[in-house]
Amino acid sequence: MIGPLDGLQIAVGALRVNIMRSLLTMLGIVIGVGAVIVMVAVGAGAREMIGQQIRSIGSNLILVVPGASMTGGARMGSGSVHTLKSSDAEAIAKELPAVRYAAPVWGEVTQVVYGNRNWRTRVTGTTKDYFPVREWKTWYGRMFTAEEEATAAKVAIVGTSVVDNLMGETYPLGKVVRIKNVPFTVIGVLEKKGQSPRGDDQDDVIFVPLKTAQYRLFGTPFPDEVNAVLIQSKEIDLIPDAERQVNELLGRRHKIGRNQENDFTVRNLTEILDTAKKSLNVMTTLLGAIAAISLLVGGIGIMNIMLVSVTERTKEIGIRMSVGARSSDILSQFLIEAVVLSMVGGLTGIILGIGGAFLFAKTSGWPALVNPAAMLIALVFSAAVGVFFGFYPAYKASKLHPIDALRYE
């Protein structure tokens, strides 16, 4: 009886006889396993990137925007009507037990000037509660004071992209920038946030007190109007309660009748994250299925080449049987050859897959998270492919009659 190590040695020797054919046979397995590794790594990296971008917006977030009302028989989209006020945000923060903060927002994109430089950026008026909602701290400097908010002070907190593009190497604190020809003193610089889920630069922004934006910069078509209210629930599990409470409170404040549609829209940003991740999971699964087809094709290639090998080595099989080899020895020998083919192909595919994942990450800017569990599963699956598709040729070889095999030409 041939031991496993002897069988492995014989298998490697047999495969080396025609090295090019063996390499071409492994190609399907290499491509399949490599594709699986790349897809899983890129998919995991993309999920992590989306999660980081959503978390950069803030946690436990709910967004309220004006819109979704019936006007003249036509449904108005969110943001197309003027129904939200800063007093709504104050009521939400004070009256709703599931809410920790509520920050009104009013702003627009405009030109900002510093010295002989100018930069077009988004200027947002808000309250000091906006920053804990976004979990956004100052890199240096400070936030607004209550007095500055109440008196519509001309102070500004800027993002790092504004500093880089407008001020360069100049130390920004205490410097004066002009927004719509109104001078503002920079009192703080925010920590870097990076891109939003939509790809926008979150650091390309200037914040001023809400009343300053409403009355000194942009004006409001309606008294105390705001673009949106950003809300943070006390806990992530309280988001559904907070949504329900916000809908009920604003429905009462806006005098929405039982059969009327709300003139505001409440959005749960956690649901956006979940939806994005589910969509990505579907895409990753689809691409993984395509990669699995490559493994299937590779397995068929192994079966084909093993059948050819059995035919070419029929006389060898007859000689081995005539000197005492049993059918089980022949079966295990050809199975070992099939498994060696698939395992070497699997290991090569893993190495190429890791390299491909990091190359894709470097060229595309996406992170790539190589999962050791995925590599192990791919390797085990490639071995299973070798056993499954190698069994029939091995079984066929083990059932050859020694006399017939010796007579084969």
Would you call 279 exposed, middle or buried from its count of C-beta atoms within 10 A (0-12, 13-18, 19+)?
A: exposed
- Mean of the per-residue pLDDT values of the chain: 80
pLDDT band at 186 (very low <50, low <70, confident <90, very high): very high
pLDDT band at 121 (very low <50, low <70, confident <90, very high): very high
Q: Which of 101, 88, 123, 273 is nearest to 212 (CA)?
A: 123
The residue that leads in pLDDT, 90 or 370, is 90
pLDDT at 2: 53
Residue 74 has pLDDT above 50, yes or no: no
CB 250 within 8 A of CB 69: no
Q: Which of 31, 28, 37 is nearest to 389 (CA)?
A: 28
CA distances for 197 relative to 42, 107, 171, 209, 318, angstroms: 17, 20, 30, 26, 67
The residue that leads in pLDDT, 257 or 110, is 110
The residue that leads in pLDDT, 105 or 321, is 105
Q: What would the mean pLDDT of 80-100 be, rounded to a whole number? A: 86
pLDDT digits (tens, 9 = 90+) for 61-71: 888 998 764 44
Least confident of 200-214, 221-235, 324-338: 324-338
pLDDT digits (tens, 9 = 90+) for 148-180: 999 999 999 999 999 999 988 889 999 999 999
pLDDT at 276: 64
Q: What percent of the chain has pLDDT over 70?
A: 82
pLDDT at 229: 93
pLDDT at 11: 60
pLDDT at 346: 85
**C-alpha dihedral sign at 30, 35, 40, 42:** positive
d(CA 184, CA 123): 12
pLDDT at 291: 67
pLDDT band at 53 (very low <50, low <70, confident <90, very high): low
The residue that leads in pLDDT, 4 or 98, is 98
Phi, psi of 169 (to 5 degrees): -85, 0
pLDDT band at 98 (very low <50, low <70, confident <90, very high): very high
pLDDT at 71: 41
pLDDT band at 272 (very low <50, low <70, confident <90, very high): low
Would you call 201 exposed, middle or buried from its count of C-beta atoms within 10 A (0-12, 13-18, 19+)?
A: middle
d(CA 366, CA 2): 50
d(CA 365, CA 352): 19
pLDDT at 321: 75
pLDDT band at 382 (very low <50, low <70, confident <90, very high): confident
pLDDT at 182: 93
pLDDT at 405: 59
pLDDT at 13: 65
The residue that leads in pLDDT, 160 or 295, is 160
pLDDT at 373: 78
Q: What is the pTM of this model?
A: 0.60
Residue 32 has pLDDT above 50, yes or no: yes
